[in-house]
A and B are shown apart, each in its own frame.
Chain A
């Protein structure tokens, strides 16, 4: 087991270049604590898989160093880095039984049969595969196959890290829950460093202690799920995390007051004056907006539509041309086309040129 350090890493698929646009991964520094659960989250093409492959050794970075503990492994091939990786599509050895699949990494390392057997059986029990131990792996369902891929990583107790590359892509929603919670449980049991790449925020947030949000080859925020949700440092994080994402609307800012489309709201914090050229926006999660009858205090809005999605409702409302999403409780009745939109000012963020700014509490 090891902590992993990425030092000045950058990668361009066309080789060393002075043009920053050639870089799929722009220069970054990161340290991953031993035993942590991390997620790399971002849309496709943001460089998250590139970063993962650099850690696993399938790619050698154009610049920078990868350190496992304090050993430089930048040029070491994958097999010598002692890591495990689980891919998007389950990789199993078709002709082998589940037992043989799980035993394979140990067998390759010349371990004795007496050592392998109890470990495979123990692991199969933890993964819920004990019933199928002696069936051919190719006859199993996708989720069982993915468990086998995972098991081949877990069987080696000495691995430095386990890397996941969108491992739940081919799994049905209901099975995703089971696999995800099992993964989290196994993490707590084994304490391996785990790095999980995904574009799915639910997977990233539920899996990781710390999420690294990437956008266009850069890290835009590193933080706990709570921090990413409550205080996104960049409007992209606000938009990308949460379903629906954060409402981000241009506003005017004066001290502790903002003006949206001519309507004033008083905030909890006071902000310093910003240059007139700056793009100032207010960001608030749909969960922190509330619709009230029109006569109550708040922004007068027009209700465009309300979707009942089961456990709650999502309202789309408009102030002039500005659209807001509002999450409403499961049982809530709203009549008429007009309503009043109330902001929870404790959870209202201000962005200047897409970056979060801190205010001062009175």
Chain B
């Protein structure tokens, strides 16, 4: 079974909520839709489910065009951000409800529910009512109901957003195991890059209704094809530096000259954006190639083991992530270091032209 969107667009009024999206999801895979609020995650899910019809383009399931087919006729399950359960039914009946609707026989229901409940660690909760459960357990129940159907396509719309941080962490760790235990196509929407990375699978980075890149999550993280994908995948935010290459010199305003090393000499003269992640900005010289810059500290955040130093350089805000505790005073000027081996370079159309050596060398 395979879900395929072919050039799907959704226009509401004059606005394109989804524009020209083509994606293919294979059976038994976890596919993450990553993007900020209003980037089109939910709209795209509704199109996949058949809750909405695309304005143009087609949706194919297992090779068949299902574009006009109503959601009731597709084998789809959905889990929402809110914990949606039947309040007057027990957890068992909640999980069993899709099977009851399908007219499955009693003993078979018991077997199926027991299997899913074990997978989601709900065995001891089956007799309770959903209101007696914690948020995490309620969401597990909703998830169990989606899984028990044996749906071909399971859509999860920010399912962990309403849970406590630690519960999220636990479920995130379990989800890939739960997903791999079924053969369904999972589509998982989230706004958090860290969640996508923890879950693994494939990620489609979304921006204003368009898919900017689709591939294995870690691949999208380490080899973003364009600036917007790199930014979508960065939390803390990506550090950026607009530069101009002119006659073998790379300049940022007149503040900074970047040595032309590695693949940089091959680039034609033009405007570029250099980008690198906060943990690739250092408080100490890490290599001979490192470039030192003077920056003014805006604020320092300490997490206990690491420090996020927010600095300003000629009107640009960067974040530096350093291990250990570093407490700088506001407006203090410090020296920071960047490593050209870790630079992503994007051209004036925001397309990737240079992959960092550090990433390129991994292969």
Instruction: List the interface of chain A (C-beta within 8 A of B).
Output: 43-44, 142, 172-175, 177-178, 180-181, 184-185, 188, 199-202, 205-207, 225-226, 228-230, 239-245, 285, 287, 307-311, 330-331
Q: Which chain A positions have C-beta within 8 A of B279?
A: 311, 330
A143: nearest chain-B partner, CB-CB: B37
Q: Is the CB of A331 within 8 A of B198?
A: no
Closest to B235 in A: A173
Tell whether B200 is near chain A: CB-to-CB under 8 Å. Answer: yes
Q: Ordered nearest first, which 6 A-B pairs have the shortest CB separation?
A: A229-B304, A206-B301, A309-B197, A225-B304, A172-B36, A199-B164
Q: Name the one of A172, A202, A310 contacting B191, with C-beta atoms under 8 angstroms.
A: A172
CB contact between A309 and one of B165, B194, B305 (< 8 Å): that residue: B194
A240 to B165, CA, bound (A): 9
Which interface residue of B193, B233, B277, B302 has the most chain A CB atoms within 10 A? Answer: B302
Assess the A206–B302 pair: CB atoms within 8 A.
Answer: yes
Q: Bound state CA distance, A311 and B236, in angstroms?
A: 11
Q: Are A174 and B304 in contact, CB atoms less than 8 angstroms apart? A: no
A-B contact pairs, 18 of them (CB 8 A): A44-B135, A172-B191, A173-B194, A174-B36, A177-B237, A180-B301, A181-B298, A184-B301, A207-B301, A225-B303, A225-B304, A240-B166, A242-B304, A287-B305, A309-B194, A310-B193, A310-B218, A310-B221
* Complex Cα spacing A243 to B172, Å: 12
Contacting A at CB under 8 A, from B77-93, are none
Contact count band on B: 35 or more
Task: Name which residue of chain B comes closest to A183, CB basis.
Answer: B299
B237 lies within 8 A of A43 (CB): no
- Out of A185, A200, A245, which one reaches B330, CB within 8 Å? A185
A43 to B222, CA, bound (A): 33
Contacts of B169 in A (CB 8 A): 243-245
Chain B residues near A199: list those with CB within 8 A: 164-166
Instruction: Give the shortest distance, in Å, between A189 (CB) and chain B (any CB).
Output: 8
Residues from chain A with a CB closer than 8 A to the CB of B305 are 229, 242, 285, 287
- Beyond contacts A174-B36, A206-B308: 8 other A-B pairs, Cβ-Cβ < 8 A, are A174-B231, A174-B234, A175-B36, A181-B301, A205-B304, A226-B325, A229-B303, A239-B166
**Most chain B CB atoms below 10 A, which of A226, A308, A309, A331:** A309
Question: Which A residues are in CB contact (< 8 Å) with B166?
Answer: 43, 199, 239-240, 245
Could you tell me if A205 and B362 are in contact, using CB atoms closer than 8 angstroms?
Answer: no
Residue of B whose beta carbon sits closest to that of A174: B237
Q: Is the CB of B197 within 8 A of A310?
A: yes
Cα separation A243 to B169 with both chains bound (whole Å): 8
Number of CB contacts from chain A to chain B under 8 A: 99
CB distance from B267 to the nearest CB of A (A): 25
- Bound state CA distance, A201 and B325, in angstroms? 16
- A179 CB to nearest B CB, Å: 12
Q: Are B164 and A228 in contact (CB under 8 A)?
A: no
In whole Å, how far is B286's beta carbon from the nearest beta carbon of chain A?
A: 13
- Cβ contact within 8 Å between B164 and A44: yes
Tell me the chain B residues, 211-242 only, with Cβ under 8 Å from chain A.
218, 221-222, 231, 233-237
Cβ-based interface call for B153 (8 A): no
B257: chain A residues at CB < 8 Å are: none
CA distance A226 to B236 in the complex (A): 20
Q: Mark B160-176, 1 if CB is under 8 A from A, else 0.
A: 00001111010000000
Please, which residues of chain B bring their CB within 8 A of the CB of A225? Answer: 302-304
On whether the beta carbons of B235 and A202 are closer than 8 Å, the reply is: no
Q: B127 contacts the other chain (Cβ, under 8 Å)?
A: no
Which residues in chain B, 191-207, are within 8 Å of chain A measured between CB atoms? 191-194, 197-198, 200
In the complex, whether B316 has a CB less than 8 A from a CB of chain A is no
CB contact under 8 A between A226 and B221, given known A173-B191, A181-B298, A201-B165: no
* Interface residue B310 (Cβ < 8 Å from any Cβ of A): yes
Is the CB–CB distance between A308 and B37 below 8 Å? Answer: no
Cα of A87 to Cα of B222 in the assembled complex, Å: 37
Closest-by-CB residue of A relative to B307 is A206
- Chain B residues with Cβ below 8 Å from A184 are 299, 301
User: Which residues of B (241-262) have their CB < 8 Å from a CB of A?
Assistant: none
Cβ distance A228 to chain B, nearest Cβ, rounded Å: 6
Taking CB atoms, residues of chain A closer than 8 Å to B117 are: none
Residues of A within 8 A of B192 (CB): 173
